[in-house]
């Protein structure tokens, strides 16, 4: 696959240009759900996985304190068993209460801008960057960038600027991160809370997977300068947000599981042995059919390279929404 023609037409005016000569290659690191014993048998009682972070994108030279890269095969089995159990619970609820399965979803979004002070250098980005990020999400998830349309649209409810030096930068997995989210998170399971700021360890972002029981850690964290118009060269067109919201909606990385097994649990994303960086057109790391999906939002390429979800990913996200996040 190559670059989509006129890719930058969807980007906000004034976005800093990308250059392949400046390497900000990411490394796939993040915190993943702890393994838990689940039964996929119909009617079985299942303990849901304890999710922390599903993914963390890292700038070149950065390193996270935790480095699970991707889910283990057991963690994927546990998550898939939990999804099956959640779907059974949902089906039983619909049968008893007459609830309907959603075909289209408008996701309310609350954005928390975490800043050290009121300067741009201290994290105080303009609200125009936030609204541009919401536009990017709607275009990406609506199929306007060249991929499959999904059921999801995003509606900004609030931009909340918070000046708190103790939370800046946002440190992945820290007690300060938990305190921040516990203090600030708004809405129910259907509300996307996005936390923006400078991040620890040169990270670009991380996210949580959906769970049957809401907890305060639920949401997406992203580097504020990765938003459209930001200063994170090669990653300043808003697709860190697109990628992390994909995890929040239950997508794995395209390279999950490498060349064997169930991979990312989506049949129409070709297997990929490892994350792709920059935009390596024609990359093919597995013997199975199809080139590596380097233009998929769930890989690790430059923002200028990624532009699509697949129909299978769209279906998986909607299935997970109806299992975990629908009212």
Domain 104-251 has CATH 1.10.10.10: no
In whole angstroms, how far apart are CA 294 and each of 94, 199, 224, 311, 320?
39, 25, 24, 16, 24
Question: pLDDT, tens digit, for every residue of 72-119?
Answer: 889 899 999 999 999 998 888 755 554 556 789 999 999 999 999 999
- Mean pLDDT of all residues in 143-150: 97
259, exposed or middle or buried, with CB in 10 Å at 0-12, 13-18, 19+? middle
- This prediction has a pTM of 0.82
Give the span between the Cα atoms of 20 and 81, in whole angstroms. 41
Domain range list for the chain: 104-251, 255-308
User: DSSP secondary-structure letter at 226?
Assistant: G
Tokens of 283: 């990359």
Q: Average the pLDDT over 58-71 and give the result.
A: 50
Decide: helix, strand or coil at residue 37.
coil
Each residue of 291-302: pLDDT tens digit? 999 999 999 999
CA distance 179 to 29: 22
Q: SS3 of 113, please? A: strand
**Catalytic position from the list 48, 70, 177, 244:** 244
**225 is annotated as an active-site residue:** no
């Amino acid at each position: 696959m190559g670059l989509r023609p006129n890719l930058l037409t969807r980007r906000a005016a004034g976005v800093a240009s990308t250059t392949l000569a400046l390497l900000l290659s990411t490394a796939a690191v993040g915190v993943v759900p702890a393994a838990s014993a689940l039964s996929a048998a119909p009617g079985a009682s299942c303990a849901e996985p304890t999710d922390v972070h599903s993914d963390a994108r890292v700038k070149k030279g950065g390193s996270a304190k935790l480095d699970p890269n991707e889910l283990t095969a057991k963690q994927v089995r546990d998550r898939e068993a939990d999804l099956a159990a959640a779907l059974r619970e949902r089906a039983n609820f619909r049968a008893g209460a007459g609830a309907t399965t959603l075909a289209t979803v408008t996701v309310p979004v609350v954005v928390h801008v975490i800043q050290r002070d009121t300067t741009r250098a201290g994290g105080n980005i303009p609200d125009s960057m936030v609204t541009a990020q919401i536009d990017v999400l709607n275009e990406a998830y609506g199929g306007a960038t060249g991929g499959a349309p999904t059921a999801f649209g995003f509606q900004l409810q609030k931009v909340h600027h918070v000046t708190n030096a103790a939370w800046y930068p946002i440190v992945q997995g820290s007690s300060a991160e938990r305190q921040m989210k516990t203090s600030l998170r708004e809405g129910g399971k259907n509300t996307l809370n996005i936390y923006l700021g400078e991040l620890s360890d040169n990270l670009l972002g991380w996210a949580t997977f959906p769970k049957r029981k809401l907890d305060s850690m639920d949401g997406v964290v992203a580097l504020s300068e990765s938003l459209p118009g930001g200063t994170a060269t090669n990653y300043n067109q808003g697709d860190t947000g697109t990628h992390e919201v994909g995890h929040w909606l239950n997508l794995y990385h395209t390279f999950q599981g490498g060349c064997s097994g169930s991979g990312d649990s989506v049949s129409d994303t070709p297997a990929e042995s490892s994350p792709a960086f920059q935009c390596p057109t024609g990359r093919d790391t597995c013997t199975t059919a199809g080139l590596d999906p380097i233009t998929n939002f769930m890989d690790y390429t430059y923002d200028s390279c990624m532009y699509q979800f697949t129909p299978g990913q769209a279906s998986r996200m909607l299935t997970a929404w109806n299992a975990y996040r629908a009212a």
